[in-house]
Amino acid sequence: MPKTAKTIRTPADVAAHFDANFDANSVMAENSARLSRRIYKDTACGAWADFMRHDVADPWIFRVGSIVEGIDAEIMPETVALPCSPEDLDCAVRCVEDAAQSLWNETHGCEDCGEERETGYRSINPDCAACDGEGTIL
């Protein structure tokens, strides 16, 4: 992900950090959708992102979250209030990616990965020859 040296103060700064298009003449929902598409494409888990605030006087909040395909699980969104550092944004995205990958690994093992757990899912065995340690799409 691109790095910016300055403090992130506005949604436009967030978009620039992630190399997403931001149009000052568009409504915020359209800018959020463009940012979300960029982050979706740049993350292994297909994360989503948006901006929110409760009142015009409140600071903008960047949110990023994900779902885990096949098990109807949602990764709890990470939030970062603006202003923030570029590292704060990157950390939020990384936390969501790590949580999604962990849940994927716990639930997407193939039949040869090992025994089914009490949850009804198999964990991925990284040494499984049948799926090459990648698991399976449910």
User: How many domains, in total, are found in the chain?
Assistant: 1
Give CA separation, 60 vs 16, 79, 107, in Å: 15, 10, 35
Residue 31 amino acid letter: N
The tens digit of pLDDT for each residue in 100-116 reads: 999 999 999 999 999 99
CB 103 within 8 A of CB 124: no
pLDDT tens figures, 114-130: 999 888 899 999 999 99
- 95: which residues sit within 8 A by CB, 6+ positions away? 78
Range of 63's domain?
11-86
Q: Is residue 37 part of a domain?
A: yes
User: Does residue 138 have a pLDDT over 90?
Assistant: no
H or E element that contains 33: helix 28-42
Q: Could you read off the pLDDT of 32-90 as tens digits, one per residue?
A: 999 999 999 999 999 999 999 988 888 999 999 999 988 889 999 999 999 999 999 99
68 within domain boundaries: yes
Within-domain flag for 30: yes
Half-sphere exposure of 134 (CA within 13 A, CB side): 6
pLDDT at 119: 85
